[in-house]
Amino acid sequence: MQQSNAAATALYDHAGVGSLHNAGPTGGDAGDAVMARWLQSAGLQHLASPLASTGIDQRLLPNLLMQGYGAQSTEEKQRLFKLMRDLNINGETGLEPYTQTAQNSGGPAASDGFYSPGFRGDFGAGLLDLHAMDDTELLSEHVTSEPFEPSPFIPGVNKAFENDFNATTNWQQKEQSDADASASLFSANEKEISSSRESNVAKIKVVVRKRPLNKKEISRKEDDIVIVSENALTVHEPKLKVDLTAYVEKHEFCFDAVLDEHVNNDQVYRATVEPIIPIIFQRTKVTCFAYGQTGSGKTFTMQPLPLRAAQDLVRFLHQPIYRNQRFKLWLSYFEIYGGKLFDLLSDRKKLCMREDGRQQVCIVGLQEFEVSDVQVVKEYIERGNSARSTGSTGANEESSRSHAILQLVVKRHPEIKESKQNNDVNESKAGKVVGKISFIDLAGSERGADTTDNDRQTRIEGAEINKSLLALKECIRALDNDQIHIPFRGSKLTEVLRDSFVGNSRTVMISCISPNAGSCEHTLNTLRYADRVKSLSRSGNPKKDQTVNSLPPCNRDVSSLSLLATADVEDVYGQQPEVKVVDTGRRPLEKDVYTVDFDKQPSTSNGREESGMAYGPTDREKIESK
Ligand SMILES: Nc1ncnc2c1ncn2[C@@H]1O[C@H](COP(=O)(O)OP(=O)(O)OP(=O)(O)O)[C@@H](O)[C@H]1O
Residues 446-465 pLDDT 10s? 554 444 555 666 666 677 77
Which numbered atom of ligand 1 lies nearest the CA of 261?
Answer: 1
The rounded distance, in Å, linking the Cα atoms of 428 and 326 is 12
Which numbered atom of ligand 1 lies nearest the CA of 209?
Answer: 1
Radius of gyration over every alpha carbon of the chain, rounded to an integer in angstroms: 29
Which whole-number Å values give the CA distances from 467 to 15, 259, 339, 471, 497, in the listed order? 67, 28, 10, 6, 15
Max mean pLDDT range (173-177, 572-576, 605-609): 173-177
Confirm or reject: Cβ of 428 under 6 Å from ligand 1.
no
CB-CB contact of 9 with 27 (8 Å): no
Closest CA to 400 of 415, 390, 411: 390
pLDDT of the residue at 574: 26
Residues in the annotated binding site for ATP: 292-299
Confirm or reject: Cβ of 512 under 6 Å from ligand 1.
yes
CB-CB contact of 442 with 290 (8 Å): yes
Question: What integer is the mean pLDDT of 127-149?
Answer: 27
The rounded distance, in Å, linking the Cα atoms of 265 and 211 is 11
Query: How far, in Å, is the centroid of ligand 1 from the Cα of 441?
Result: 12
Closest CA to 153 of 315, 6, 332, 368: 315
**Does the global pTM surpass 0.80?**
no
pLDDT of the residue at 445: 58
Question: Does residue 197 or residue 416 have the better pLDDT?
Answer: 416
Max mean pLDDT range (62-66, 230-234, 549-553): 230-234
Residues in the annotated binding site: 292-299
The rounded distance, in Å, linking the Cα atoms of 95 and 90 is 6
The rounded distance, in Å, linking the Cα atoms of 332 and 349 is 13
Which numbered atom of ligand 1 lies nearest the CA of 399?
Answer: 26
Which whole-number Å values give the CA distances from 610 to 337, 392, 495, in the listed order? 11, 21, 18
pLDDT of the residue at 269: 96
CB-CB contact of 70 with 51 (8 Å): yes
Closest CA to 566 of 557, 558, 579: 557
Query: How far, in Å, is the centroid of ligand 1 from the Cα of 186?
Result: 42
Q: Where in the chain is the domain with CATH 3.40.850.10?
A: 207-518+533-575
Confirm or reject: Cβ of 526 under 6 Å from ligand 1.
no
The rounded distance, in Å, linking the Cα atoms of 250 and 623 is 55
Highest CATH level, class, for 207-518+533-575: alpha beta
Helical axes 374-386 vs 304-317, angle rounded to 10°: 150
Q: Are strands 327-337 and 403-412 parallel, antiparallel or unpaired?
A: antiparallel
Residues 192-205 pLDDT 10s? 444 444 445 677 89
Residues 362-401 pLDDT 10s? 888 999 999 988 999 999 999 998 888 665 555 455 556 7
The rounded distance, in Å, linking the Cα atoms of 128 and 392 is 58
Residues found in the chain? 626
Cis peptide before 552 (omega within 30 of 0): no
Question: What integer is the mean pLDDT of 524-541?
Answer: 74
Confirm or reject: Cβ of 400 under 6 Å from ligand 1.
yes
Q: Give the helix/strand (H/E) hosting 409.
A: strand 403-412
Asked whether this complex has an ipTM greater than 0.95, the answer is yes
